[in-house]
Amino acid sequence: MVTNATSLGRSGLFDWLVQRLSALIVLAWTLCVLGSALLMPEFDHAHWRALFDSPAMRIFSLLALLSLCAHAWVGIWTVSTDYLNEAHLGRWATLLRLSVQLACALLTAVYLLWGAQIFWGGA
């Protein structure tokens, strides 16, 4: 039996909630950015820079990035657990599944750190 993505002791309900809440946060961030771009008559680089230089938008962007990473991780874990199993791949399934999950976890961590550096890196 395979445990769930986020913790050894929780049910799938927690993963389901992570997916839904993270999707709502990413949606809210997307609507905020699109709304800002559409509502400003002349949305140039200076306006874009001013928007993302504000501490509130930086925090909101970091929260959206964290949500995107959590959403991706739960999705990757679910898909890899469902399709990379013994029934589909035989005896090497566990090694392959763990390798794929490790690679995805490392890539997600790199994207998270890179995104945080972009949002908080300054000039």
C-alpha 26/C-alpha 90 separation (Å) is 37
**pTM of the prediction?**
0.83
21-35, 70-84, 87-101, 103-117: least confident range: 87-101
Kindly report, residue by residue over 45-74, the tens digit of the pLDDT.
Answer: 888 888 999 999 999 999 999 999 999 999
pLDDT of residue 42: 84
Half-sphere exposure of 58 (CA within 13 A, CB side): 12
What's the Rg (C-alpha) of the chain? 18
Kindly report, residue by residue over 4-26, the tens digit of the pLDDT.
Answer: 555 555 678 899 999 999 999 99
Q: Which two tokens stand for residue 41?
A: 């008559």
Under CATH, which architecture does the 12-120 domain have? Up-down Bundle (1.20)
pLDDT of residue 41: 80
Q: Which two tokens stand for residue 30?
A: 């997307």
